[in-house]
Amino acid sequence: MKATFLKLAIRNLLKRKGYAAVNIMGLSIGLVSFLLIMEFVIFEKSYDTFHKQSQRIYRVGFDWGEIDYSGINSSRYASNVPVMGPTMAQELPEVENYTRFFRVLTIRPFSVFTYRQNNEILYSGNEDEGFYADANFLKVFDFPIVSGDATPLSKPHFVAIT
């Protein structure tokens, strides 16, 4: 039975080559599109889900309200002003905790990083891929600390390496 259907399908494909090519091309484009869209959706839904409380972590964006010459709002940013976290925690009882961090490049193009041990400088150099963060950062996010104190961000001039 299956052999008969296979023979019939091959005979029809060879008989109507243009029709078969259009159908096979459309099917393959549809399948590839579906797979790419699914890959994108799965990636977006899995982003930062390794944190234990990932469903309860939100990022508050900022909108300057500026409209460009074409009428599009071009002033939306993923970052926010530093006072937003403390103000939201004070004004909204739903906010349990907040943290603030920003790239080193937002203040100046580099940051001098110096590592000392027993008043001896072991390393000093310009680092441009770091982040400044407050003490609540490791309470909100679950990044494991490779080395050092369990609360490295509670005092100034301390570094956390994750």
Query: Under DSSP, is residue 63 helix (H, G, I), strand (E, B) or coil?
Result: strand
What does pLDDT average to in each consecutive run of 10 residues of the chain (162 residues)? 89 89 95 97 86 85 77 75 88 91 65 74 72 81 74 69 73
Whole-number pLDDT of residue 22: 93
Question: How buried is 153 (Cβ within 10 angstroms: 0-12 exposed, 13-18 middle, 19+ buried)?
Answer: buried
CA-based angle 30:36:37, to the nearest 5? 90
Question: How buried is 82 (Cβ within 10 angstroms: 0-12 exposed, 13-18 middle, 19+ buried)?
Answer: exposed
Q: What is the pTM of this model?
A: 0.60
